[in-house]
Amino acid sequence: MARTVAAFKVDYFQFLNPDGQLIEGQQLPALARDFERLVTMYRQMVRTRVFDKKAIALQRTGKLGTYASCLGHEASHVAIGSAMRPEDCFAPMYREYGVQFCRGVTLTDVLLYWGGDERGSDYAHAPHDFAWSVPIATQCLHAAGAALAYKLRNEPRVAVSVVGDGGSSKGDFLEAINAGSAWKLPLVLVIVNNQWAISVPRSRQNTAATLAQKGIAGGLPSIQVDGNDLIACLWAMEKAIEAARKGHGSFVVEMLTYRISDHTTADDARRYRPNEEVEEAWAKEPVARLRSYLMDQGAWDEGQEQALLAECTAEVQQAADEYLDIVTNDPQPVTTMFDFMFAELPHDLAEQRAQAEHYQDTGGQH
Amino acid sequence: MAAITLIEGVTLALARALEEDPGVIVLGEDVGVNGGVFRATAGLQQRFGEQRVLDTPLAEVMIAGMSVGMAAQGLKPVAEAQFCGFTMPMVDHLMCHAGRMRNRTRGRLSCPMVLRFPTGGGIHAPEHHSESPEALFAHMPGIRVVMPSSPGRAYGLLLAAIRDPDPVVFMEPKRIYRWQKEEVEDNGEELPLDVCFTLRDGSDITLVTWGAMIKETLQAADQLESEGVSVELIDVATLSPLDMETILESVSRTGRCVIIQEAPRHCGVAGEIAAGLADAGIWNLLAPVKRVCGYDTVMPLYRNELNYMPSVRRIVDAAHQVLEVS
Ligand SMILES: Cc1ncc(C[n+]2csc(CCOP(=O)(O)OP(=O)(O)O)c2C)c(N)n1
Ligand SMILES: [Mg+2]
């Protein structure tokens, strides 16, 4: 008769229900009552959302290139960013502005990048974080490599990466899990499962009951949380990051959320998903959820809400103005194509650089 | 007979191939319900069903590796990579398996797969969406590399690629996906692989290019013609293997040649053509061969992309230099 040699389970954590009420009957993290902290997070979530709306408006009016919205991901993203320390390292995919703003990436940085200007990836205030990684899931291995660097140098730092439900199908992600397990790396891999990979639904990636269990298969403790519940996301990230920092190895956290927006501004999600699904997602979205909790608890009120919206709108407008001013009045010279290729410009590129400079005015005259 | 765009030529050829050969399977990310991010596979899943047009999990290595497996076992996978930048992990299966399958099994197995994907810049796309990696693929033994530059050639060459008994990388110049319309009859007639197409006859200079650079090269040719220069224009179309014969024959008459490619210059297909001219055409050349190429830099983000890509002026200047030599 067979005997069981290994058995697994995946725990799911949710502390705030979609109506913004605490789910009693379980041990609640102290965080749930730390209103000062929660208000700080809430402010960051609103700031991210106001930014997102502005970025889409800029794209729609021809002032920004293709843009990947983060609408609906605010709790997941802000929780990840808030749980990290400045000396940790983040390896993003392409829509985690909520994480990045916590890390010091500026609103203007993000606009420059999607506005086709390389300076957007030169984060003055997040000096060692990786830049956006458009080739899906590749960033997971960069985070694993960063984690190995910290481990080999005995530094109490943690590398964090985010991958999507689609990206979790790629070898890079599974290889990062394996590396985390092989070397007990200070690595936290977050799957932001927003149910869609462009037009491909979660159910088409595979039939696994959870994506978190891929971590378990590789030997990592792995859990699932409600990605629209800031308290659950932050609690999970703090636990995982601190354990990783203490040398307990790598962790996988799957955050269940929903991509309310189109995949990017170049996409039209109405072609492949029913509107009812999006409406349902609105009923569970993270910002309203945390707001009603904070208001119920007397930690937030309508006046503060209006003041915050006004403040964020002004800040975002200022960033948009700054971005437009930079690309209009201080455009990157054509020579910057060459100047960051190598530490020292090789001779053949020097020749081409001069040629590009000579022809730069014809750019556009195709 | 309808006038269609280049991308519609792709769709038409895919539909034709799905219709005529039950072994043809179209697969890729978002190719099914969504009809592809550029709409190249629009309507195909509705028409041919989920068994023939497959949305895959997000995994390029899987798409390439499984295409090799399917092809070796009697199917004709026509796989799509969503953008040129995402073909890089597929290189393993192309280089180490697809291009070698026939050779290493002494003909017992083969690999009649097609990998098609949009290539090139100029549409304000995000990072990694605008590169021109044709030389990487053209460097792989055992693999054909094809790039159409008109609706009719998209249709005829893709049909040929799918019917071909060996692996073909079919690169679609997305900047001209919807540039020109042309009447294309859906008659199932393929165009020959492995030959260049002479688009214009002329006697003073030969301009050689492929893919989306056809657009600027045609404009440069018009400008040169208006100056009284007679231009011969060749669309290489199949980059590997290379039809040097057509190019050599043309240069034997014109004695002058400029090669235009959007890709970086170093180790590019333009260099291969120039080497072919230096080898077998040297005695017919009246002037040095010039290349007008993308720079050997990372493809810049969109604000600088037109400064990266060869412009009409760069092509005309190079032609003038070549014409000045007496
Ligand atoms: C390797 C690779 N293949 C394909 C793409 C094109 N692409 C961009 S986003 C995307 C879907 C990603 O889905 P998911 O991982 O779930 O992340 P989400 O966009 O939903 O946040 C695809 C296929 C890419 N960027 N990289
Ligand atoms: Mg997703």
- Tens-place pLDDT, residues B32-84: 999 999 999 999 999 999 999 999 999 999 999 999 999 999 999 999 999 99
Give the pairing type, strands B2-4 and B24-28. Answer: unpaired
CB proximity under 8 Å: A 92-121 to B = 94, 113-118
- Does B278 reach chain A within 8 Å, measured CB to CB? no
| Chain A: closest CA distance from residue B21 (Å) | 26
- Asked whether B86 lines ligand 1 (CB < 6 A), one says yes
B241 upstream amide cis, omega within 30 of 0: yes
A206, A177, A180: which is closest to A191 by C-alpha? A177
- Asked whether A239 lines ligand 1 (CB < 6 A), one says no
Instruction: Enumerate the residues of chain A whose CB falls inside 8 A of the CB of residue B307.
Output: 334, 337, 356, 359-360, 363
A187 CA → ligand 1 middle, Å: 22
Mean of the per-residue pLDDT values of chain B:
98
A75, A58, A27, A4: which is closest to A319 by C-alpha? A58
Residue among A66, A337, A365 minimizing CB distance to B300: A337
The catalytically annotated residue of A47, A157, A259, A353 is: A259
- Asked whether A135 lines ligand 1 (CB < 6 A), one says yes
Residue among A114, A167, A341 minimizing CB distance to B58: A167
Cβ contacts of residue A39 below 8 Å, gap of 6+? A294, A299, A300
Q: In what order do the strands lie in the sheet with A89-91?
A: A12-13, A222-226, A251-256, A187-193, A159-164, A89-91
Cβ pair A267:B37 closer than 8 A: yes
Identify the nearest ligand to the CA of B125 by its number: 1
Cβ pair A327:B303 closer than 8 A: yes
Q: Answer whether residue A364 shows pLDDT above 50.
A: no
pTM greater than 0.90: yes
| Chain B: closest CA distance from residue A248 (Å) | 30
- Tens-place pLDDT, residues A206-225: 999 999 999 999 999 999 99
Helix (H) or strand (E) holding B207: strand B205-209
Residue among A134, A264, A366 minimizing CB distance to B312: A366
Domains and CATH numbers, chain A: 12-331 (3.40.50.970), 333-366 (no CATH)
The answer to whether the CB of A111 falls within 8 A of the CB of A315 is: no
> How many residues are recorded in chain A?
366
Give me the mean pLDDT over the A274-303 stretch. 98
Mean of the per-residue pLDDT values of chain A:
97
- DSSP bridge partners of B291: B259
- Asked whether A166 lines ligand 1 (CB < 6 A), one says yes
Rounded-to-integer distance, Cα A151 and Cα B313, Å: 54
Residue among B35, B298, B313 minimizing CB distance to A362: B313
- Tens-place pLDDT, residues A92-109: 999 999 999 999 999 999
Q: Is the dihedral of CA B45, B49, B50, B51 positive or negative?
A: negative
| Chain A: closest CA distance from residue B122 (Å) | 9
Cβ pair B309:A332 closer than 8 A: no
Q: Answer whether residue A185 shows pLDDT above 60.
A: yes
Residue found by looking up tokens 């978190």 in the block: A212
- Tens-place pLDDT, residues A37-78: 999 999 999 999 999 999 999 999 999 999 999 999 999 999
- Does A26 reach chain B within 8 Å, measured CB to CB? no
Rounded-to-integer distance, Cα B305 and Cα A334, Å: 9
Residue A166: both structure tokens together: 């689609």
Q: Answer whether residue B1 shows pLDDT above 90.
A: no
- Tens-place pLDDT, residues A313-340: 999 999 999 999 999 999 999 999 999 9
Residue A1: predicted pLDDT: 83
Helix (H) or strand (E) holding B232: strand B231-235
The answer to whether the CB of A200 falls within 8 A of the CB of B30 is: yes
| Chain B: closest CA distance from residue A92 (Å) | 14
- Name the band, by pLDDT with cuts 50, 70 and 90, for residue A361: low
ipTM for the predicted complex: 0.96
Look up residue A331 and give its amino acid: P
| Active-site residue, A272 included | yes
- Does B275 reach chain A within 8 Å, measured CB to CB? no
The answer to whether the CB of A143 falls within 8 A of the CB of A176 is: yes
Rounded-to-integer distance, Cα B249 and Cα B114, Å: 31
Residue of B nearest to A341 (CA): B297
The catalytically annotated residue of A263, A289, A293, A323 is: A263
Instruction: Enumerate the residues of chain B whose CB falls inside 8 A of the CB of residue A169.
Output: 57-59, 62
User: Could you tell me which residue, B164 or B2, shows the higher pLDDT?
Assistant: B164
Q: Answer whether residue A362 shows pLDDT above 60.
A: no
Cβ contacts of residue A255 below 8 Å, gap of 6+? A76, A190, A191, A192, A193, A224, A225, A226, A227, A233, A236
- Tens-place pLDDT, residues B263-303: 999 999 999 999 999 999 999 999 999 999 999 999 999 99
Helix (H) or strand (E) holding B26: strand B24-28
- Does A335 reach chain B within 8 Å, measured CB to CB? no
Residue B5: predicted pLDDT: 98
- Tens-place pLDDT, residues B133-181: 999 999 999 999 999 999 999 999 999 999 999 999 999 999 999 999 9
Helix (H, G, I), strand (E, B) or coil at B293: strand
Q: Answer whether residue A366 shows pLDDT above 80.
A: no
Residue B2: predicted pLDDT: 87
Rounded-to-integer distance, Cα B319 and Cα B259, Å: 10
- Does A130 reach chain B within 8 Å, measured CB to CB? no
Residue of B nearest to A345 (CA): B297
- Does B266 reach chain A within 8 Å, measured CB to CB? yes
Helix (H) or strand (E) holding B9: helix B6-20
Atom 6, ligand 1: which residue's CA is nearest? B82
The answer to whether the CB of A247 falls within 8 A of the CB of A147 is: no
- Does A331 reach chain B within 8 Å, measured CB to CB? yes
